[in-house]
Structure formats: structure tokens, C-alpha cells
Amino acid sequence: MALISDGRFVEDGWRRLADEEDLPKSGRIIVSLARLPHALEKLTPETSLGVLAPNTTEIDALATALPRLGLISIAFPAFADGRGFSLARLLRSAGFTGELRASGRLLADQYTHALGCGFDAIEIPDDLAARQDETQWRAARDAYSRTYQRGYISRGSILDARRKAAQ
Amino acid sequence: MSVHDLSAAARPNAPTTTYRYDEFDADFVRERVAEFREQVRRRLEGSLTEDEFRPFRLMNGLYLQLHAYMLRVAIPYGTLTARQMRCLADIADRWDRGYGHFTTRQNLQYNWPKLIDTPDILDALADVEMHAIQTSGNCIRNVTADHFAGVAADEIEDPRATAEFLRQWSSLHPEFSFLPRKFKIAVTGATHDRAAILAHDIGLRILKNDAGDIGYQVMVGGGLGRSPFIGKIIRDFLPRADLLAYLEAIMRVYNRYGRRDNKYKARIKILVHEKGIEAIRDAVEKEFASMDRSVFSHDPEEFTRIAAYFAPPPYESLPAVSATLRAARNDNPALDNFVAVNVSPHREPGYAIVTVSLKPIGGIPGDATSAQMRTLADASERFGFGELRVSHEQNIILPHVKQDDLPALWRILDAAGLATANAGLISDIISCPGLDYCSLATARSIPIAQEISKRFSDMSRQRRIGKLGVKISGCINACGHHHIGAIGILGLEKKGQESYQITLGGDPTFSAAIGEIVGPGVGAEQVPDVIEHLVDFYLAEREEKETFIDTWRRVGHARFKDALRREGEDGAYI
Amino acid sequence: MAAFKNPQILLASDLRDGEVMFLGASGWERDHRRARVALDAAAAAELEKIGHAEYASNHVVDVYLTDVEIEPDGVPTPLHYREKMRIKGPSVRRDLGKQATGA
Ligand code: SF4
């Protein structure tokens, strides 16, 4: 897997823990949603916890865990399955400030969407990364100087620019 | 040129009656073109596979059809300026085959563009403040509106301001660009629904409440296609200030819970049908209540900014009835018929709304040559403040013509083959491209339209028959709106042959209804006969002033069915 | 794989311009009369293999086999009305598409 953050391929500081693997004493680990309650219970102070959540996860299922999670990775079963975008948006509205990852066969063309909804990083399989290099991700990130929506993250808001121009 | 014509030519032709891009809109559209140019490049070099590229080309209106690519250009709320229409003509000549097809969603389709030329075409469109953004794909599509917006006598408010407001909000929405399926919104501001809002994923009806505030009745879950549904009311009165927040709540519920396991069950209409409107309403209201609405706090001023563009043009004050027109109608029966059939009342005294039919007898519904587009652009400048509309009936509207100018306009239209006096009549057929162009089609639809049109080529017979909507689709996707045609025709494949299923009683207005099937499918050659029998039966049965649909409602579906059954030689027509 | 019943030809669309093409004896042809005809399942599989490779190398899209009958003059004509349309062009515009240039 390759990880893209701020238009660059970066080292992944987190490790995905298989369900049958023991919880480590320290480090940054990502567990499955099913294992989350158990992991929270057994967590040592030296461990940072992340969770891999299906895109159908209800916010309520994560609500109590949110303050203790350092990362949420939302699975994209297919790149055109946009449920993850809404889930990210909801997690950010619920106050989640840790790292938000989109994991799946996402394309560079979806980078602004992902960033807009509050994702920080995109995790894609290596074969895809081989076809879509950093320059493509950076170009996608910089494709729009301003966008129309309110309350989403972007490089600039057309509404704000208009209000400023009218002053 | 007469004195009268000179004064017409001297009129200001810079349109002020529709939205104009500011620098931010212009930048945005240019950036979209640049992005698409890059996407095409990456596709050709192999960074994107076809499966990956497809959703992105569709989101920019580019399809792969039977013979070539097809580019669908957005005509937001169906409004065009003369300059835009000329640009459409130029593109048709330079990159396509000299014509375009106006669709039931108030868009224009080119049938022969090359993938490699598409970025240049989009740049040419951007020059005149146009684009192809979200004319396809599983995203929020081009927002449609009443084609008589701003000029209809029965209007509470021009719906185009709302449509433009929504166009901007929905453009490249970060959260709602990968929905379970396409999403269509229509707006009307009138008491008659000319935008078929009950057949849309979201229908918005502009209302004024008892306190005099403007808001929206919100309908959700309408749609045609494989399982047709009429939209249901989700909110009786939504204050304007809450419009975007409320729509985001609907979209979020749909994006999260709409079905993704089956393409045919993925529209919001199925979600509404399966969960029930109450459950959907609860989910939407809950989401709406929990949203941070402060981000929408400047929407009222933004709406006002947009609405200002839709100011009425500088009308002259004229007598309500034109003596010039009356005299000309007396002298010229063809003009008289044209005015009687294709001209609608305008809310400004002395003006009229002209429907230019793109349905010549035996022609291809909705097609216009580049020369015709230019004629229409010129005519709109001379006679209509340089503004044109595209109706979902696939016709062109000149929305502000002086009644005094109608004779001169008619002469120009007539010379260009654009004066067919059949608006709303049986030969004003809505037809999708069908198997002549569309790769999804199961049968042809255009030749069926042509044959019916020829069968009823006698215009006086058409006028005797009166208002009658015939709508034809070449497959179950229902782009030709067959479900809501008084007579609907659906092309299917049966035993390796093209076969046509006929429905009766569909209605696109506020009294919306889905047509009922008359019987098993018939072959292409039989369709005109069947239609003729149905029409004859109606003429025999109708009571004073009844339209086809009125008679069908009164007499009942069963008797129309029987009428057909008796006709056949072997005792069964269909 | 469906049982082999009729002779088949391979259709595709040119990625760059969208035009319908047919796999011929040596590469893509824009005229169906020059299409290579598969007379048995093995030959059809061979056509498909070439088609997939061409798809994978981004030359063509929408690649598929279609059943044909062989006319007395040796020309393969699709059996289905949809593909009959594709080898000619729109039936309502005889001046456009392949039919306009004599196909
Ligand atoms: S109804 Fe079917 S055939 Fe007609 S345009 Fe739509 S998808 Fe194509």
C-alpha cells in the first residue's frame, strides 16, 4: 500500500493489526471495528489507536471512542462508492480531530473531494500508485483555486471571495 | 426592410435577463476544463483505465455511444443567450456534423465529437459561459426549471434564481459526486407545473406562505425509468434560508443509505419506496437538525445577488392587443394557426411567448442544424432581447416577443423550416435518440416519432385532436418520458425484434400520473395504426372541450383497450 | 463462455475518436467487410484475446464479439439489429456514419 499526504507519498507510521495478532505494548496500530472495544479496554498509554471502519459505520458506534482514537481509516470498497465521503464529513462534524484516512482504490481525481470532506491521507494499493504518481496527486490537489460549497475544506471559497470583492 | 424592422434591429441585444459569470465562476469553469484536459491525457497515456476514466468523463457529459462519443452540454434551466446559441452552432460545424440534439433535460447533445477534441470544445463553451459539468454521472445533474420562467402569467417567482443557486452549490460537490446513482432536481415557481417536478429525485415548488415569505414545497423520490414513481412531499414549506442545508441533509441520507447493490434500485425513489416517506423524512429532519447551519448564514445575500441577474428585460409599454398582429392574422391563415398554437400569453401587455417547434412533420424531434441555431440566435436578438429557452419538450422558446413582431418573426422561422404550428399537438412528439444513437437502447424511437408525425401530417386534423402528448423512449431508462405521456411508447426487444409497448394516461403536471399499459407490444409498422385507432376512439367519445387525457380519465382505460382489441382483422390488434 | 453457435466478429470503439472498428487480418478496420471472421470457438477466443490486449494497452474500448452470418459475397453481417446499426450509422441520417461512405 502507498500513502499520500499533502500531495506526496509518505511513510506510514501506523501498522494494521490482524485480528489474531496480540495487542502490542506500544506503537501506533490500526484495528478492525470489531476489535475496537477490546482494544480500547486493553490499551496501554504508550499505544496510539486507530480503527479501520467500513463506510457503513454509524457515528453512534464510534462516538464514545472518538476522543481516544488517533486515526480512523475509512474503507472505500470501490472508488465510485461515495459513502466514505459522507462518513468523513460526519466524523469531522462530530469533532474528530485525529487523522482521517481513505483506504481503497481511490483515484487522484477524487483527491479534492476527499480533502474537502475532511480526509488527511489516502491509502491506495501499489499498482495504482505505480500508475498515478505524486505529480498527478499534486496536480489534482491544486486543480481548483476556489470552490462553491460552504463549510467544506478547500483552497478557497467562491462565496467568501465574492463577499470580499463586494466590500 | 420596413421601418418596423429597422426599429427592431436597433434594439439593444445584450441580454441582461439571465445569469452572467463573474470572475470566480469563469475561473472555476476554466479550471474544470483544464482538469478534464488532464484527465483525457492521463487516459490516453494509460494512467487511467477505461473503468476509472468512465465516471469522470460522464461527469463531464461525455458518453461512448453506438457510433461515436456523445457530448452533452449543460443548458442550465434551459436558458441561452443568442451568443451562446451561436457558439453551439459553431461547435457543431467545427467539431461535429453540423447539428445538435436538444434533450428532454434542456441540454444539447453532439453525436460525433472525438475524445481528443473534447477539451477544446469545452474551452470554446467556457468562452461563452457554458460547460458540460455534471450532465451525466452519479452526481447532481443539471438543475432544470420551467421554460416559461420569468414570463409566465401564473408565476410566483422566477425559478431560475433558485436553479442557478443550486447549480453553483452542486458543482463539484466534495461529498455528493459519487452517489449511488444520478440525481435530478427540478424547480417551478408557477401554479402550473411545466417542469415535471414530480418526476424528479427532488422537486421544488416555490410557494408563498401566509406571512408572505417565499419558500419551497419539497418533493422527493419521483423518477421515471424501470420503476416509475411520483415524488412525495417531504417538507410542506421550507424557508429559503434553509434550502441548501436541507438539500444537503437529503443528499447525505441518500448517499449513505441509498442502495448500491443493484443499479436499478439505486435511485432515491427506491429508498423512499422501501423505507417509506415518513422514515426518510425523520432521517432527513434529524440530520438537518444536527447540522452546523452557521456556514449557510450568508446564503440570503448570495441568493439576492444571483436573483438580480434575472431581472425582466426593458419592456416597452404596449397595448395588450396588437392591431398589427390581428390584421396580419386575418390575411395569413398559416400565421393565424401558428399564433393560435405556438404562442402563449406573456405577463407583459403586448408581448408573447413563442414556442419554436423542433418537430417538423417527419423530422427528428429535437434536432436543429447549425444554420437553424443561428437563425434562432438572430431572431432572438431582433425580436426577443437576445434570449432563448430550451423546453423539456425539446423545443426552443423565444420568451419575450412583441405581438407586433410576430408576423415578421414568423416569416423568418417559416423560411428556416422552423414554423411548424404543432406545439402541444400530436406531432409535437418527445423522443429520446433511441437505438439510432444510444448504446443503451433496446429499440429505435426516432423513426417511430417520424411515422406518427407523418400519419397525422394534416395540421387541421391535429388541431381538431387538440393537446396530446406522445412521448417515446428507446429503453426502460425513459429519457423520452414515456411514462408521463398521455400516450407513451416504450421500445423494447422481443424475440430479436424491435417491439413497442404503449401506455395511456401519463401526466407530467402537478396531477402527475404514470401511464397504464394497453397490451402486449406491437411491431414498429403497427405503431402508427394503433395510435390512430386510439385517437379515433377518443374523437368519437370525447365530450365538448375534452382533451385526450380528459376523455381517457372519464371513459376509463378498459374501454380504450377494448377499442383497440376490436380493430384487428383476427379480432386482436394488440 | 456461451456455446459457439454462429460465426463471430470482434467489434470495438477507437479510444481516441470513438468510431466503431472491427478486428481484421492485421489490425483494426473501420469497415466491417474487412473483419476477420471466427468460425469456431477457438478462433473466437483468439479474437477476444487480441481484443483484451488492445483494450489493456488503451487503443480501444467496448470490445466484444458479435454473431454474424456470411453473405454469399463473403461479407459478414451481424445478426442482431443493434450491431446492424453499428456497421452503418443512424437509420434516420443516411448521410452520416459509415453508410455515408459506402459501407
Ligand atoms: S431512454 Fe434509453 S434509449 Fe432513450 S436515450 Fe435514454 S438510455 Fe438511450
Q: What is the pLDDT of residues B200-259, one digit of tens each?
A: 999 999 999 999 999 999 999 999 888 889 999 999 999 999 999 999 999 999 999 999
Q: DSSP string of B383-428?
A: HSTTEEEE-TTS-EEEEEEEGGGHHHHHHHHHHTT-----TTSTTS
Domain assignment present for B314: no
Helices (H) and strands (E) in chain C, counts: 2, 5
Residues B66 and B68: their CA atoms lie apart, in Å, by 6
Domain assignment present for C45: yes
Q: Which range of residues forms the domain containing residue B67?
A: 23-73+88-127
pLDDT above 80 (res A154): yes
pLDDT tens, residue by residue, B498-507? 999 999 999 8
What is the per-residue pLDDT for B16?
59
With a pLDDT cut of 70, the percent of chain B lying above it is: 96
Tell how strand C8-14 and strand C60-70 pair up: antiparallel
Q: Which residues contact B374 (CB under 8 A, 6 or more apart)?
A: B85, B86, B89
pLDDT above 80 (res B15): no
**Closest Cα to residue A68, out of A85, A54, A50?**
A50
Domain assignment present for C3: no
Å from CA of B491 to ligand 1 middle: 9
The whole-number average pLDDT for the span B410-422 is 97
Residues B24 and A157: their CA atoms lie apart, in Å, by 10
Give the CATH number for residue A156.
Answer: 3.20.20
Q: Specify the residue with its C-alpha closest to ligand 1, atom 5.
A: B432
Shared domain for B163 and B220, answered yes or no, is yes
Give the CATH number for residue B352.
Answer: 3.90.480.20
Chain A CB within 8 Å of residue B102 CB? no
Q: Ligand 1 in contact with B473 (CB < 6 A)?
A: yes
Domain assignment present for C14: yes
Chain A CB within 8 Å of residue B244 CB? yes
Is residue B397 a contact partner of residue B390, using CB atoms and an 8 Å limit? yes
What is the per-residue pLDDT for B305?
95
What is the per-residue pLDDT for A167?
84
pLDDT tens, residue by residue, C27-64? 999 999 999 999 999 999 999 999 999 999 999 999 99
What is the per-residue pLDDT for C103?
57
What is the per-residue pLDDT for B570?
52
When CB atoms are compared, the residue of C58, C79, C92 closest to B436 is C92
Q: Tell me the CA distances in angstroms from B200 to B247, B285, B508, B523, one per residue in order.
A: 14, 20, 11, 31
Q: DSSP string of A99-112?
A: EEEEEES--GGGHH
pLDDT above 60 (res B571): no
Please return the burial class of B528, using the count of CB atoms within 10 Å of its CB with bins 0-12, 13-18 and 19+: middle
pLDDT tens, residue by residue, B442-500? 999 999 999 999 999 999 999 999 999 999 999 999 999 999 899 999 999 999 999 99
Please tell me the total count of domains within chain B. 4
Instruction: Name the band, by pLDDT with cuts 50, 70 and 90, for residue B566.
Output: low
- Structure letter (DSSP) for residue A65: T
Q: Which range of residues forms the domain containing residue A86?
A: 2-166
Q: What is the ipTM of this complex?
A: 0.97
Single-letter amino acid code for the residue at B324: T
Instruction: Name the band, by pLDDT with cuts 50, 70 and 90, for residue B568.
Output: very low
Q: Which residues contact B191 (CB under 8 A, 6 or more apart)?
A: B154, B155, B156
The whole-number average pLDDT for the span B175-180 is 98
Please tell me the total count of domains within chain C. 1
Residues C83 and C67: their CA atoms lie apart, in Å, by 9
The whole-number average pLDDT for the span B390-411 is 96
The three three-digit cell numbers of residue B522, written as one number: 406491437
pLDDT above 50 (res A2): yes
Instruction: Name the band, by pLDDT with cuts 50, 70 and 90, for residue B6.
Output: very low
Identify the residue whose cell numbers are 417491439: B499
Domain assignment present for B14: no
Q: What predicted TM-score, i.e. pTM, was given to this entire model?
A: 0.94
The whole-number average pLDDT for the span B15-40 is 92
Best mutation target among B49, B67, B367 (most C Cβ atoms within 10 Å) is B67
Chain C CB within 8 Å of residue B436 CB? yes
Neighbours of B285 (CB within 10 A): 15
With a pLDDT cut of 90, the percent of chain B lying above it is: 87
Q: Which range of residues forms the domain containing residue C25?
A: 8-101
Q: C89: which chain B residues are within 8 Å (Cβ-Cβ)? A: 67
**Alpha carbon B362 to chain centroid distance?**
21
The whole-number average pLDDT for the span B394-409 is 97
What is the per-residue pLDDT for B565?
76
Shared domain for B397 and B461, answered yes or no, is no
Shared domain for B478 and B370, answered yes or no, is no
What is the per-residue pLDDT for B14?
47
Q: Which residues contact C76 (CB under 8 A, 6 or more apart)?
A: C7, C9, C32, C33, C35, C37, C68, C69, C70
What is the per-residue pLDDT for C2?
62
Strand partners, B343: B354
Å from CA of B365 to ligand 1 middle: 14
Determine the angle formed by the axes of helices B370-383 and B406-415, rounding to 10 degrees.
Answer: 170
pLDDT above 50 (res B364): yes
Q: Which of A129-133, B133-137, B404-408, B508-512 has the lowest mean pLDDT?
A: B508-512
Residues C6 and B571: their CA atoms lie apart, in Å, by 38
Å from CA of B481 to ligand 1 middle: 10
pLDDT above 60 (res B320): yes
Q: Do A158 and B25 touch (CB under 8 A)?
A: yes
Tell how strand B487-494 and strand B497-504 pair up: antiparallel
At residue B263, the 3 state secondary structure works out as: helix
Domain assignment present for B448: yes
- Structure letter (DSSP) for residue A24: P
Shared domain for B251 and B161, answered yes or no, is yes
Q: Tell me the CA distances in angstroms from B387 to B189, B310, B488, C74, one per residue in order.
A: 19, 12, 32, 56
What is the per-residue pLDDT for B4?
39
The whole-number average pLDDT for the span B256-284 is 97
The whole-number average pLDDT for the span B17-23 is 92
B-C Cβ pairs (cutoff 8 Å, strict): 74
Chain C CB within 8 Å of residue B46 CB? yes
What is the per-residue pLDDT for B195?
85
Give the mean pLDDT of chain B.
93
If one compares B11 and B173, the residue with the highest pLDDT of the two is: B173
The whole-number average pLDDT for the span A56-62 is 94
Q: Ligand 1 in contact with B441 (CB < 6 A)?
A: yes
Distance from CA of B116 to the nearest CA of C (A): 6
Q: B496: which chain C residues are within 8 Å (Cβ-Cβ)? A: 79-81
Shared domain for B172 and B276, answered yes or no, is yes
